[in-house]
Structure 1
Amino acid sequence: MPTTHSHDRSSLPLAGCHIVERSDSVAAAYAGRLLATLGATVVMLEPEEGSPLRQAAPLLDDETSALFSYLAAGKHSLVCDLETGDGQRILARELQQADILLDDTPVSERRALGLDHERLSERFPSLVHVSVLPFGAMGPKADWDGEEINLIHASGEGFLLPNGRSYELFPNRPPLKIYGHFAQYQGGCAAALSALSAWWAVSEFGGQYVDVSVQDAMLLCGAFALQRLGDGSLEHRATRSFRYGGVFEAKDGYVELLTLEDRQWNALVQLLGNPGWAQDEALKDPLERSRRGADINAHIREWMAVRDVDTIVASAQTLGVPAAKYRTPVEVLTGEHETFRGLFDACHLTNGHQAQVLVAPYQFQRTPLQLGDVPSLGKGEDQTAIQEGLS
């Protein structure tokens, strides 16, 4: 069995918070992961065969799920079949000491499993029950299922992809789904923040039922496109792009740069060697630069095509031009910036191996966050261990 981290978690922001998670989806599981990394004790209630996420792609060589390993790091696991009396007793025991329940059970199945929010609010009046479903638990789409590709397109993001340089290179490509589980990660963030907001208000309002829609959370990513509908502007993959800047191909890789401010534009001109075309007085006007975006990008592409990525980025950062290299996963794991900030930590997987895993998408200056290990199925039956996590 993999060993576990033995760090003292009592100083973490959510130390003492007890969370029960019943998740088949990335969204609910990611909400639990964020809260576990903040110090909460998160107990996954899994069926006898384990969560479907334990078999979710991508898989490592021995069929261990890399996705589940990331989502479950730092949690506990209990086998709990809610269709049995024993399962119901386990649920009641865990909810009795829980502050928050994260739940993505379909609405139509909740009453039979004892998870309908009316009954839970009566039995556990201080419990924050967070429902995390593709289209929410209320309204005409409450019973709809939705995979990642459905959520990307239901939120309008598919209408906007690919855009920018990708559209220029491949104008005939069909709408694309962002790699991985982008929409569900947005839903997970919304669920975690909603859970904390409701939990902080328990002393004043008691427990609450929180309805999180992954589609709604994903819509926020296209907020600017939605706002522009008000002035009659309909963004599309063919028109959604930075007027100048974006992704450029250098001699040995790709660079992205974006200059939104005048000082950044002036630094970009200096980076390019103060070329004659950039001395046009009209280009001092940001609106005029936007109008001439295609011409400006053509000059930048020509300049970058004969230079190395590392040289470009180093010079750009020295001058204050926002620019970065597109790096491989290995380069990210071993990067100077990531290493200095401690973004990755060693995590023991259920196969006994160790992997470097992103701790969290945020940090606390005075309280370093900690990455726990991935629990084997049922690795949480020892209630003493769980209670130690609460102390």
Structure 2
Amino acid sequence: MGTPPLDGLRVAVHASGVAAAYAARLLGVQGAEVIFVEPPCGSALRGEPPFLAQGEGAKPTSALFAYLAAGARSMTCDLATGDGQAALGALLSECDIFIDDSPRAGRRNPNPGLSLDEAALSARHPQLVHVSVLPFGAYGPKADWQASEITVQHASGEGNLLPNGLSVELFPDRAPVKIAGHFAEMQGGIAAALGALSALWVRDEVGGQFVDIASQDAALAVGAFAIQRLGDGSIEHRVERSFRYGGVIPCVDGHVELLTLEQRQWDGLVKLLGSPQWALDPALADSLERSRRGPEINRHIREWAIVRKVDDIVAEGQRLSVPIGRYKTPVDILHGAQEHHRGLFQPVPISEIGLVNMLVSPVHVDGAPLSLRGGPPELGEMNKVGAEVLS
């Protein structure tokens, strides 16, 4: 690929949580220069588990931080001091975008020349796109509320709908669970990156703007179907939240995910199953009738799949244009032929560990994979080299 799409863009991020850091990461992998603004002790993200294995006595390296900050630079400054605030101000004068997840109260300073709130930053840096990323946004009754990943998941309604499908059939009495990782916060990060680029798009006409992102809203949008169903008086529940047929299907050596939404996909599934007599019932040519008879269809599919191997089912299913895929382990993904072909991973250097294969980006640009500038930065590396913003 040639010049990445955001080459020449400069982004400063002040992040203690995943959402703001992930927004910067999404911009950085597309070519923007990203600078993590950290306190002298380092961002709280540096202490987040899990940690990458390394030699005895070495300082633990957070896998989460390594991923979020890959390719970025690090500048330390104590924002409780005038010198630190002045250093950040100097940096922002050279940036296009500033992403910040500090609590609202922490943004205010009696001296407007040192304040990080919306009005003060707009006055000092009129061309700056200022992106606020908080669990519940910067305005409204919950603006000052703190939240963790699990809080945001449940506040968005997603947690109450899990587990569902095969999981709720196997474990009907299980309490609501948390999606692995940082699903809700990353949804906030995606919204923040898109909001930043939208504001940047019109900056020449309107100047810099304040972009207010609530991770709760972003995660809520993922469960839009549940909200839509409120219109007919339905309240979705984990027992009902599943595709009428398909979903997670157990096989002899693992699981596949199956989903047929179009008629041609159903026709392909029938062929994949060997055109059994039950599937040739003329009534099943109607998609609504298939939905009504979903449990019956799934029983047949599961009986067929449980004696077959995943790879055989997936290969034949894809040949017949059936949307079906293997549930992969992390090792499968790292060494998968498709993942390798798409250039999803890139070896990056991590101090005291060496090269680590890291997920680059979920998208291609102009038909080619993107690339990372490198691994995560050493704390305060810009300070140590006497970066111009601190001189």
Please give the TM-score of this superposition, normalised by the length of structure 1.
0.94
| Counterpart in the other structure of 1:61 | 53
Give matches, 1:11-30, under 5 Å: 11-30=3-22
| Counterpart in the other structure of 1:375 | 377
- In structure 2, what is the Cα distance between the partners aligned to 1:13 and 1:382? 30
Tell me, which stretches of 5 or more residues in structure 2 are unaligned?
A: 55-59
Tell me, which stretches of 5 or more residues in structure 1 are unaligned?
A: 1-8
Out of 87-96 and 179-188, give the one that drifted further.
87-96
Q: Which amino acid aligns with 2:157?
A: G
| Counterpart in the other structure of 2:95 | 98
Q: Which amino acid aligns with 1:275?
A: P
Deviations 1:65-114 (A, max 9, x none): 00000000010000111112221221111011011100001001101362
Change (3 A) 1:115 1:325: same
Aligned-pair CA distance for 1:374: 1.0
Aligned-pair CA distance for 1:351: 2.6
CA contact (8 A) 1:78 1:380 kept: yes
CA contact (8 A) 1:187 1:213 kept: yes
Aligned-pair CA distance for 1:139: 0.7
- In structure 1, what is the Cα distance between the partners aligned to 2:388 and 2:33? 7
Deviations 1:348-380 (A, max 9, x none): 113342111111111112564221221010122
Q: Which amino acid aligns with 2:308?
A: R
1:82 matched to 2:79? The reply is yes
| Counterpart in the other structure of 1:348 | 349
| Counterpart in the other structure of 2:39 | 47
CA contact (8 A) 1:24 1:51 kept: yes
| Counterpart in the other structure of 1:212 | 213
Aligned-pair CA distance for 1:186: 0.2
- In structure 1, what is the Cα distance between the partners aligned to 2:312 and 2:386? 56
| Counterpart in the other structure of 1:277 | 278
Q: Which amino acid aligns with 2:108?
A: R
Give matches, 1:184-263, under 5 Å: 184-263=185-264
Q: Secondary structure at the match of 1:380?
A: helix
CA contact (8 A) 1:23 1:103 kept: yes
CA contact (8 A) 2:343 2:369 kept: no
Aligned-pair CA distance for 1:58: 1.1
Equivalent pairs, count: 379
- In structure 2, what is the Cα distance between the partners aligned to 1:180 and 1:373? 20
Q: Secondary structure at the match of 1:215?
A: helix
Aligned-pair RMSD on alpha carbons? Answer: 1.6
Q: Secondary structure at the match of 1:237?
A: coil
Q: Secondary structure at the match of 1:191?
A: helix
- In structure 1, what is the Cα distance between the partners aligned to 2:259 and 2:137? 36
- In structure 2, what is the Cα distance between the partners aligned to 1:315 and 1:11? 39
Aligned-pair CA distance for 1:60: 1.6
Q: Which amino acid aligns with 1:110?
A: R
Q: Which amino acid aligns with 1:103?
A: D
Q: Which amino acid aligns with 1:223?
A: A
CA contact (8 A) 1:121 1:207 kept: yes
